[in-house]
Amino acid sequence: MTQSSPAAAKQKTRTAREPEVWAKSDSQGGKPPILQSSQAPIIQVQNLEKTYSTARGELTLFRGLSFEVQPGEMVAIVGQSGAGKTTLLHILGALDAPTAGTVCCVSTSVAQLSPHEAAAFRNREIGYVWQFHYLLPEFTALENVAMPLMARGVRKAEALAVAAKWLSEVGLDDRGEHRPGELSGGEQQRVALARALVNNPRLLLADEPTGDLDETTANRVFEMVERLHQSHHLTSILVTHNLDLAARCTRILRLESGRLAAL
């Protein structure tokens, strides 16, 4: 029996979920196409507030922050260190809770989720890529990619088979039996990208995914993110300090003084 690729399996899932039409990409800038959908925005944030209690008093990162992200967008968020970019990703991905406001992500009010529900939501709907790969050193690349599937209850043999396809997707089908310490920095980040997408999430959140890489390797990894974003019909939000890479996204938002502004 012929096995479908990760891209084909993802497309079947998308077709069952909602009708979709992809617009043409920008022929001049080569920016990702935007998904034209009759559905609601995939992310809706209204009047978001996030306040921390510190020894010096309350620290407010966001107050009255509102924005939307449409299905299929690839959005770059830039801003100074300490502006709250990572915290914003954590809130969108149900890793942190807002102090006030509404955060609706993939038709789910993430602030209302219990810890167990939040974990299931992240596993099902969100792929994460961080500046550091966070691969488990005692496991092979193949096993690392399979981990989210096995956490969801997929049998090990099936999980490893799917993980092998994703390693092929990121050009590492010959590195599956290598442990993280035997891989280059770029290879480690590509394994992390495969792990982030192995569960076919709708949303990819990436926090400085090329920050630890040299310029050439960073460009190659970003090109892979762009390709997978389009081929798997993702919605992607990337935090980056690299304005050249940010310019290749659908749009750029700057986070400053607790507010987002378009660039």
| Structure confidence by residue, pLDDT tens digits, 102-134 | 999 988 999 889 999 999 999 999 999 998 999
Give me the domain span that covers residue 244: 6-39+73-81+127-262
| Structure confidence by residue, pLDDT tens digits, 138-189 | 999 999 999 999 999 999 999 999 999 999 999 999 999 999 999 999 999 9
Alpha-carbon distance 130 to 209, whole Å?
Answer: 5
Q: So what's the pLDDT on residue 66?
A: 93
- Better-predicted residue by pLDDT, 225 or 4: 225
Q: Is residue 158 part of a domain?
A: yes
18: pLDDT strictly greater than 90: no
29: pLDDT strictly greater than 90: no
Q: Is residue 45 part of a domain?
A: no
5: pLDDT strictly greater than 70: no
Q: Is residue 24 part of a domain?
A: yes
Residue ranges of the alpha helices (H) in the chain?
6-17, 85-92, 115-125, 141-151, 156-169, 185-197, 215-231, 243-246
Q: Are strands 43-54 and 100-105 parallel, antiparallel or unpaired?
A: antiparallel
| Location of structure tokens 């990162």 | 61
Which CATH number fits the domain that encloses residue 218? 3.40.50.300
Q: Is residue 167 part of a domain?
A: yes
Q: Is residue 30 part of a domain?
A: yes
Confidence of residue 71 (pLDDT cuts 50, 70, 90): very high
| Structure confidence by residue, pLDDT tens digits, 83-107 | 899 999 999 999 999 999 999 998 8
Q: Is residue 115 part of a domain?
A: no
| Location of structure tokens 């986070």 | 255
Confidence of residue 2 (pLDDT cuts 50, 70, 90): very low
Query: What residues are paired with 53 via a beta bridge?
Result: 58
Q: Is residue 63 part of a domain?
A: no
Q: So what's the pLDDT on residue 3?
A: 45
The residue among 126, 110, 129 whose CA lies nearest residue 118 is: 110
Q: So what's the pLDDT on residue 39?
A: 66
Quote the mean pLDDT of the chain.
86
Q: Is residue 105 part of a domain?
A: no
Q: So what's the pLDDT on residue 227?
A: 94
15: pLDDT strictly greater than 50: no
Whole-angstrom CA distances from 16 to 105, 121, 143, 217 are 19, 19, 29, 36
Q: So what's the pLDDT on residue 56?
A: 87
| Structure confidence by residue, pLDDT tens digits, 212-239 | 889 999 999 999 999 999 999 999 999 9
Stated pTM of the model: 0.82
**CA angle at 18 for the pair 262 and 46, rounded to the nearest 5°:** 35
Total domains in the fold of the chain: 1
Q: So what's the pLDDT on residue 40?
A: 82
Q: So what's the pLDDT on residue 7?
A: 47
Q: If you average pLDDT over residues 10-39, what whole number do you get?
A: 44
Q: So what's the pLDDT on residue 30?
A: 53
